[in-house]
Amino acid sequence: MAAGVAVQLGGDLVVALLAAVAALVIDRLQLRIARRRLPAFYQQVAGGIVATLLAVGAAALDEQLDLGLDVSLVVTANIVLLLAGIGFMGALQDALTGFYITAGARLTEAILSTAGIIAGVSGGLSVAAVVGVDLPPVELGATGIQEIGLTALGSAIAAGAFAFASYSPRRALLPVAAVAAVAVTISESVQVPGIGRSWSVATAALFVGLVGYAVARRLRVPPLIVVVSAVVPMLPGIAIYRGLSLLGEGSRRDTSLGLVALIGAASVALALAAGVILGEYLTQPLAREARRVEARMAGPRLVGPVRTVSRRGSRGAAATGRRSGRRKEPDPDGRPPAPPRTTPPPG
């Protein structure tokens, strides 16, 4: 999944491999921490530190070998990886649909988990500043047709991998990847004319909400499998990393820009939840009306083909008839049918 996000952001093969290695280390480390029953906050802190320190080591190696790697994408990809396990979507959906107490509890848990990521990445960036390694913010330029195709490919890999890691049925992996690729393509295409990131993401999330529930019904899987996996590539990992790196600079201007980036990340998360919920509310009455129209146009059901009854089946039917006390036809072997029993047997 982390490798797919790195490809989605424009990283090359080496950056994708570094992101995958960092994700493997984070996964094993968080598993060990969970076995010791430490809270999820410390697991997120450890994940953020590991991702940043591996990127720092790769940046130091890049300075010596001059490989031209954008190692900041490693941190960004693993931030998206860590954000994917947080219940932001569920918390915001509960808040938007009126379940405020449940939303408050889930939102508090999500904020603490995100704070753990921020603490871990901030600690890693501080170590980078101490050792003299520069990790620049992620800078995304103009998006062209080739870049959109690469972005769609990376998002499809990330969404399919997240669905697989969440124990989804194998038959749902390719449809989830296709929905995610189309959604990210819509988001990038809407953003090209100059529309803001939040509105472009909301449009893509609306598409996921409209299509995801129909796909889930077709595959006979819960809708959350399709919806949550498809919006994973659109999580605001870039905005969070940019905001943290700017806050780490320490100047007043960079601090202001960092706060703006973090607020933008929160708006993107809200846009994802709002778009998905709106798509759900729009697709349910449309689905009911489509079923009514289909029932009206289908007409009467035709009777299926008549099946011949085998010899064993005829014997079984005769035995059933004898037990019920009704007169049956003669046995195919020519023996007369047994008379119905009127008195109980002796003894």
pLDDT band at 303 (very low <50, low <70, confident <90, very high): very low
Domain range for 154 is: 2-294
Q: Are 177 and 154 in contact (CB under 8 A)?
A: no
Q: How far apart are CA 30 and CA 159, in angstroms?
A: 21
- The mean per-residue pLDDT over the stretch 132-155 comes to 70
User: Residue 290 domain-assigned?
Assistant: yes
**At residue 175, does pLDDT exceed 80?**
yes
Q: What is the pLDDT of residues 275-286, one digit of tens each?
A: 888 887 887 776
User: Residue 236 domain-assigned?
Assistant: yes
Please provide residue 39's backbone torsions phi and psi, each rounded to the nearest 5 degrees. Answer: -60, 160
For residues 279-292, one letter each, b for 16 or more C-beta atoms within 10 angstroms of the residue's C-beta and e for the rest, the string is bbeebeeeeeeeee
User: Residue 308 domain-assigned?
Assistant: no
Per-residue pLDDT at 288: 66
User: Residue 121 domain-assigned?
Assistant: yes
How many domains are there within the chain?
A: 1
DSSP 271: H
Place of tokens 């993107």: 268
pTM for this prediction: 0.71
User: Residue 328 domain-assigned?
Assistant: no
- The mean per-residue pLDDT over the stretch 157-175 comes to 91
Q: How far apart are CA 336 and CA 340, in angstroms?
A: 12
Per-residue pLDDT at 340: 56
Q: How far apart are CA 261 and CA 242, in angstroms?
A: 7
Per-residue pLDDT at 307: 54
> How much of the chain exceeds pLDDT 70, in percent?
76
Count other C-beta atoms under 10 Å from residue 338's C-beta.
12
Task: Name the residue among 135, 110, 109 with its Cα closest to residue 51.
Answer: 135
- From the centroid of its chain, how far is CA 215? 14
- The mean per-residue pLDDT over the stretch 254-264 comes to 83
Per-residue pLDDT at 29: 92
CA torsion through residues 266, 20, 153, 170, sign: negative
User: Residue 179 domain-assigned?
Assistant: yes
Per-residue pLDDT at 302: 47
Per-residue pLDDT at 164: 92
For all residues of the chain together, what is the average pLDDT? 78
Q: What is the pLDDT of residues 1-56, one digit of tens each?
A: 989 988 888 888 888 898 999 999 999 999 999 999 888 889 999 988 998 888 88
pLDDT band at 142 (very low <50, low <70, confident <90, very high): very low
Q: What is the pLDDT of residues 193-241, one digit of tens each?
A: 677 788 888 899 999 988 888 888 888 888 888 888 898 888 887 787 7
**At residue 148, does pLDDT exceed 90?**
no
Left if phi > 0, otherwise alpha if psi is -120 to 50, otherwise beta: which for 254? Answer: alpha
- The mean per-residue pLDDT over the stretch 105-129 comes to 84
Per-residue pLDDT at 28: 92
Task: Name the residue among 232, 138, 241 with its Cα closest to residue 187.
Answer: 232
Query: If DSSP codes are grouped into helix, strand and coil, which group holds residue 2?
Result: helix
- The mean per-residue pLDDT over the stretch 101-109 comes to 86
323 or 276, which is more confident? Answer: 276
Q: How far apart are CA 33 and CA 25, in angstroms?
A: 12
**At residue 80, does pLDDT exceed 50?**
yes
Q: Are 95 and 40 in contact (CB under 8 A)?
A: no
User: Residue 332 domain-assigned?
Assistant: no
User: Residue 304 domain-assigned?
Assistant: no
What crossing angle do the helices spanning 40-65 and 72-84 adopt, rounded to 10°? Answer: 160
